[in-house]
Structure 1
Amino acid sequence: MSTQSDPAPDEEERSPELTPPPAEASASAMIGAALGSAAKRAGMDPAGGKSTGHVVWAAMGGWRGVFESVLPGLIFIVVYTITIDPATGDGDLWLSLGLSVGIAAIFTLARLIAKQPVTAAVGGLVAAGVAAAFAAFTGEASNNFIPGFVTNALYGTAFLVSALVGWSLIGLAAGFLMGEGVAWRSDKRKRRVFFWLAIAWASLFAARLLVQLPLYFADNVTALGTLKLVMGLPLFAPLVAVTWLAVRALYPHRAPEAETPAE
């Protein structure tokens, strides 16, 4: 009589081990989820059925968002320019910085009082404060623009690298929003479109640096501030529209799921 014991049930029915997803894909999925969530909060959801104009306007934050983005910088450059002393060629730095940061603080306070989301306003206040600190500590008005240069360099590099390594940031965000994760990478058409969209965004940030840095080194504060405004929302909005239309073209039959009525 055999004394060999029967295999344990869990040994007989043991399922094959699942292969964990590559770390690269997992990290990219996490980045895509973060980018997609941010895009959705900004009203840029390709599955939302919104018009291009509505999406672009939502991405800019409406009239309030436009004012919060533009006015602090506009006030700084206007006040600095009109207070320039012909003898020294310098404007009133402290007055310009004070009014610029002050208007950003007012926007933030107004949102707090109205119990509205303060992310955009706080972001504008922090940006104005950091820029003002650079200028105040050095006594050079042109240094007010250094944080903007750093931001453009970081964003431009991120978009460029993501495109070159085949993990376009636009693709990661769109993949999350459209519910396909990183599956778009197996579609040559989507990869190509997302590659060029990332390159377009990288080019926008690079163009800002190429145009504005020479003015910074020339210490031409008025021209630098003016071009910063011109190359801000006026270039951002059309690129948002192009990105939106391109993504919608890649997913023409996708629509938001209908809500199931409660039983």
Structure 2
Amino acid sequence: MKKILKETVEELKQFMSGKTIDTIIPPIIYVIGNNLFGLNVGIILALSVAFLFALLRLLKKENILYALGGIGGVALASGFALIADNAANYFLPKIIGSGALFLISTISIFVGKPLAAILSHVSRGWSFDWFLRKDIKPAYREVTIVWAILFLARMLLQLFLYNRGNLTELGWASILLGFPATLTVLVLTLIYGGWRLRVLGGPGIEEFQEGKNPPWEGQKKGF
């Protein structure tokens, strides 16, 4: 158990190294600005903060990927709000995104290529044939099913709050269902996924690539 926790902490450090706060603060500023000064000022303040984060990353010569993502996200959300002159529409892109992720997850399950396996393959560079083994794929399929349920639940909750029209509720839901929820799901995914791979008894990715025969030690690190 200690080893699992240590590996999980290492994975989380890598996940959080991207300065994810750059995508969290602008929505907070938007809600506060809109409530105090109106839609246009809220948008200007949110965009200004997003640009400030990007500038700070550039000056510090840090990775500005998340800062640029924050600028793009705020710009897109602001467009939705301005077009309809409705402050709540700022959060429509996230609602649409939750729905899209639910559909993608569901489709990936039915076509036999779970989203969790695809994302792990892309981020880690492991051979995709390994993910499709009968003694490996069930772990990624089960994780993807859980993801799909969570994406659906998030979309439904966001839609409910959107129809209520309470911007403050939408803002807090957007924040809590964003980074904190993602972090929680990541932790559970790493713990459950690693345990499930060991139960399935398949080869580790290195054993698979080296063509080793059973008995295998299994996947020791990562999911």
TM-score (norm: length of structure 1):
0.67
How many residue pairs were aligned?
Answer: 197
Counterpart for residue 197 of structure 1 = 143
Which amino acid is the alignment partner of residue 72 of structure 1? P
Which amino acid is the alignment partner of residue 58 of structure 1? Q
CA contact under 8 A between 2:34 and 2:40: conserved in structure 1? no
Which amino acid is the alignment partner of residue 201 of structure 1? W
**For residues 1-263 of structure 1, what are the structure 2 equivalents within 5 Å?**
51-61=7-17, 64-65=19-20, 67-81=21-35, 83=36, 92-175=38-121, 177=124, 179-188=126-135, 190-249=136-195, 250=197, 251=204, 253-254=218-219
Distance in 2 of aligned mates of 1:253 and 1:118: 37
For 1:117, what is the secondary structure of its paired residue? coil
CA shift for structure 1 position 204: 2.1
CA shift for structure 1 position 80: 2.6
CA contact under 8 A between 1:172 and 1:182: conserved in structure 2? no
Quote the sequence identity (%): 24
Structure with the larger RCO, 1 or 2 (CA within 8 Å, 6+ apart) = 1
CA contact under 8 A between 2:109 and 2:144: conserved in structure 1? yes
CA contact under 8 A between 1:72 and 1:103: conserved in structure 2? yes
User: For the aligned residues, what is the CA RMSD?
Assistant: 2.4
CA shift for structure 1 position 117: 1.9
Distance in 1 of aligned mates of 2:34 and 2:184: 30
CA shift for structure 1 position 54: 2.9
Which amino acid is the alignment partner of residue 79 of structure 1? G
Residues 131/175 of structure 1: CA separation in 2 closer, same or farther (3 Å cut): closer
Distance in 1 of aligned mates of 2:106 and 2:178: 19
Instruction: Choose 1 or 2 for highest CA Rg.
Output: 1
Which amino acid is the alignment partner of residue 11 of structure 2? V
For 1:51, what is the secondary structure of its paired residue? helix
CA contact under 8 A between 1:175 and 1:183: conserved in structure 2? no
Distance in 1 of aligned mates of 2:142 and 2:80: 35
For 1:166, what is the secondary structure of its paired residue? coil
Residues 77/244 of structure 1: CA separation in 2 closer, same or farther (3 Å cut): same
Counterpart for residue 210 of structure 2 = none
Distance in 2 of aligned mates of 1:234 and 1:175: 24
TM-score (norm: length of structure 2):
0.78
Residues 133/184 of structure 1: CA separation in 2 closer, same or farther (3 Å cut): closer
CA contact under 8 A between 1:208 and 1:228: conserved in structure 2? no
For 2:75, what is the secondary structure of its paired residue? helix
Which amino acid is the alignment partner of residue 84 of structure 2? T
CA shift for structure 1 position 107: 0.6
Distance in 1 of aligned mates of 2:155 and 2:220: 38
